[in-house]
Structure 1
Amino acid sequence: MIEVFKTIDKFDNIVTTLLEEEGFWVRHKFKVSVSLEEKKLIGKQSAPKPEIDMLAFNLGRNEVLALDVKAYLDSPGAKLSLLQEEHEVPTGRFKLFTSERYRSLVLARLLQDLIALGMANLETKVRLGMIAGKVNQGQSEAIRAHMQQHDWMFWSPEDVKAKVAARNNQVKS
C-alpha cells in the first residue's frame, strides 16, 4: 500500500513539473471555504469543505485551472459514463464535473477565496480540468471531446506520457 502512495505522489510531482514548464504556478490540496448556507443550497449541509487537488495559475492568461489530478492506479481509471452523469445534488467521484449547481458554487467561491488571498482578481478566469494517469478502456479521446464541450481542460495518460517524453528529449539535447 505504501508503494501505491509513493507512485501517486510521483504522478503528482510529474504533473506539477509539466505544468510549471508550461508557465503555471502550482498549489496542491486547496480547500474551498464553502459556508453552511452555501452547502444547504447544494443539498449537502454536512459535506466537508471541497478540496481541489491542484490549482495551476497562469498569470499571463490570468487563468486558474482547478484540477482533478488522479493517477487512478487502484481503479479502472476515469470513465466517460461517470463524467457524463448529471446530478442536482453532488454525488459520486466526479462531483465538480457532474453537478452544475455544485460546480458553479465551488468555482465562484474558489475565485472569492483566491481574491481574498491576493492570488487572483475579478477578471481571473477559473477553469475546471482533469489530468488522469489512467483512463478506462481507451476512452481518452471520448473524454477529451466531452471535456472540450464544456471548455474543461484534459490531459489523458497519453498526453502526460508525450509531455514527459518531449521533456526528456529536451533534457538530453
Structure 2
Amino acid sequence: MQHFESIVHAVLEFEGYWVRSSYKVELTKAEKVLTGKHSIPRPEIDLLAYHVGENKLLVLDVKSYLDSLGVRLKDLEERHDLAQGRYKLFTSRRYRKVVFARLKKQLVEDGAINGKTKMVLGLVAGKVYQNEVEKIGKLLKKERCEFYSPEWVREKVQSLATRGYENNAASITAKILLNGK
C-alpha cells in the first residue's frame, strides 16, 4: 500500500469506515470477455471503505500525484468502450459494470457486505491540475461518483491532530506537524 493510500485509509477509519487496501477483483474468463478484453490483469481497487450504518461501500481510486501536475479533468472526461487509461472505472461504463458486479458477488460471498449494500465509485486526489477541483467535482457528481479533493484530505489530516493518540503514521505525523500551531 502506498503511503498516501495509508493516510486516506486512516482518515476513513476515523470516519467510521471498515477499510481494505489493494483489493483484487477476481474476474472470470467470461467476465473478462464481457469487458472486451480477453486477457487483462485482475483489477485492483486501491481502497474499499464500508460504512455499516449506511450500508455503503466506497470503491476508491486514490491518486496522490503530489509531485506531478495532479489529477486532470480531461483524463476523467474521456469515454471508452474498452477499458484504457488511468481511470478505467470512471471512463468505461462497460468495464465498471463488469468489475462492480464481480466485486459485489465476491464481497457478498466473503460475508463482507450484503446484497443490498450500495456501492459507490469515488476518487481521492492529493493534487488536482490547476483550478480544476470544482469541475472534477461536478463531473463526478453527475456520474454519481464521489470526489474527495485535496482540501478534503488536508482537513481530515488536520483533524487527526486533535484526536487522541493512535499508533499509526498518519495520526502521529499530523500531531507532529500541527500540534503547537
TM over 0.5: yes
- Residue number in structure 2 paired with 1:77: 70
Of Structure 1 and Structure 2, the greater helix share is in: 1
Amino acid at match of 1:127: V
TM-score normalised over the length of structure 2: 0.86
- Residue number in structure 1 paired with 2:54: 61
Paired with 1:26 and 1:109, the residues of 2 have a C-alpha distance of 19
Q: Secondary structure at the match of 1:27?
A: strand
Aligned counterpart in structure 2 of residue 114 of structure 1, from 89, 107, 115? 107
Pair 1:152-2:145 in alignment: yes
- Residue number in structure 1 paired with 2:6: 13
Amino acid at match of 1:131: V
Paired with 1:56 and 1:137, the residues of 2 have a C-alpha distance of 28
TM-score normalised over the length of structure 1: 0.90
Q: Which runs of 4+ in 1 moved over 3 A?
A: 169-172
Deviation at 1:151, TM superposition (A): 1.7
Q: Secondary structure at the match of 1:86?
A: coil
- Residue number in structure 2 paired with 1:125: 118
Q: Is the 8 A contact 2:5 2:46 kept in 1?
A: no
Paired with 2:75 and 2:153, the residues of 1 have a C-alpha distance of 22
Paired with 1:59 and 1:169, the residues of 2 have a C-alpha distance of 25
Paired with 1:170 and 1:63, the residues of 2 have a C-alpha distance of 25
Amino acid at match of 1:156: S
Amino acid at match of 2:113: A
Deviation at 1:42, TM superposition (A): 1.4
Deviation at 1:74, TM superposition (A): 4.6
Deviation at 1:17, TM superposition (A): 1.3
Deviation at 1:9, TM superposition (A): 3.0
Q: Secondary structure at the match of 1:158?
A: helix
Aligned residues: 166
Q: Secondary structure at the match of 1:11?
A: helix
Paired with 1:9 and 1:40, the residues of 2 have a C-alpha distance of 31
- Residue number in structure 1 paired with 2:174: none
Q: Is the 8 A contact 2:45 2:60 kept in 1?
A: yes
Q: Secondary structure at the match of 1:67?
A: strand
Q: Is the 8 A contact 2:65 2:126 kept in 1?
A: yes
Unaligned ranges ≥5, structure 2: 165-178
Q: Map 1:30-109 onto structure 2 (within 5 A).
A: 30-109=23-102
More displaced 10-residue stretch of structure 1: 66-75 or 88-97:
66-75
Pair 1:134-2:131 in alignment: no
